[in-house]
């Protein structure tokens, strides 16, 4: 079956954004006077929990800090997203090597582009505004974000939704991910998956990936 669509994860896949998320969390915690420190090693562990609010809840439940209510969880997450958005809209998150060229080649070949992510829709919009300026508003269509699913990755729901909206079988699509959670979600929907490990996921197990590559600089669509 000919390749008809490329489906991309966002954080860590389109761009190395996870460190920006971490710094935005830290700035938020400082503003709130919480005294929480999410250093690189802790954040790497926390990334096994998908979703920003879920990550905050997990940290509170497992770290021994004073409990906070759901309203404060939501407020912290909203403020973190505001800070993240300011950074990436200003161009603070460059695309990963080879990504821009791959997207251009796919568009030229008439291959559709879609996003499947657990991050917030506002974060997706901020990244697209900062890293894809001048591109069509519907460059990625459909976009399935964290608000659209009941179960986030590694559950395959986001990928099932993308396939349904594309109206394509899994065999006609190729996924790009950077994490075990993402790979597991994609494989759960029967999708072939290319993994480009990122700053925070290089240590993970990618057994079952169709291919694992450092980046997409030499990626050839003709192989698929």
| Active site residue ranges | 9, 11
Report yes or no: 194 and 210 within 8 Å, Cβ to Cβ.
Answer: yes
Token pair 């179960």: residue: 151
Query: How far, rounded to the nearest angstrom, does the alpha carbon of residue 223 sit from its chain's CA centroid?
Result: 25
Backbone angles phi, psi at 9, to 5 degrees: -70, 170
Using a CB cutoff of 8 Å and minimum separation of 24, what contacts does 194-199 make? 194/219, 196/13, 196/96, 198/12, 198/13, 198/16, 198/18, 198/96, 199/12, 199/16, 199/18, 199/19
Contacts of 101 (CB under 8 A, 6+ apart): 216, 217
């Amino acid at each position: 079956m000919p390749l008809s669509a490329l489906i991309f994860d966002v954080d860590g896949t389109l761009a190395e954004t996870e460190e920006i998320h971490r710094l935005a969390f830290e700035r938020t915690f400082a503003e709130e006077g919480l005294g929480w420190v999410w250093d690189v090693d802790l954040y790497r562990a926390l990334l096994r929990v998908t979703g920003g609010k879920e990550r905050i809840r997990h940290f509170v439940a497992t770290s021994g800090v004073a409990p906070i209510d759901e309203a404060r969880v939501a407020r912290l997450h909203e403020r973190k997203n505001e800070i993240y958005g300011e950074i990436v809209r200003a161009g603070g998150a460059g695309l990963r090597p080879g990504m821009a060229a791959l997207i251009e080649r796919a568009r030229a070949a008439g291959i559709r582009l879609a996003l499947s992510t657990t991050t917030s829709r506002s974060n997706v919009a901020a990244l697209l505004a900062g890293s894809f300026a001048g591109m069509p508003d519907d460059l990625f269509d459909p976009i399935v974000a964290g608000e659209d699913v009941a179960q986030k990755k590694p559950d395959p729901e986001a990928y099932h939704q993308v396939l349904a909206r594309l109206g394509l079988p899994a065999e006609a699509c190729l996924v790009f991910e950077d994490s075990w959670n993402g790979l597991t979600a994609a494989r759960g929907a029967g999708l072939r998956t290319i993994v480009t490990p990122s700053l925070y996921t290089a240590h993970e197990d990618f057994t079952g990936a169709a291919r694992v590559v450092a980046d997409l600089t030499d990626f050839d669509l003709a192989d698929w």
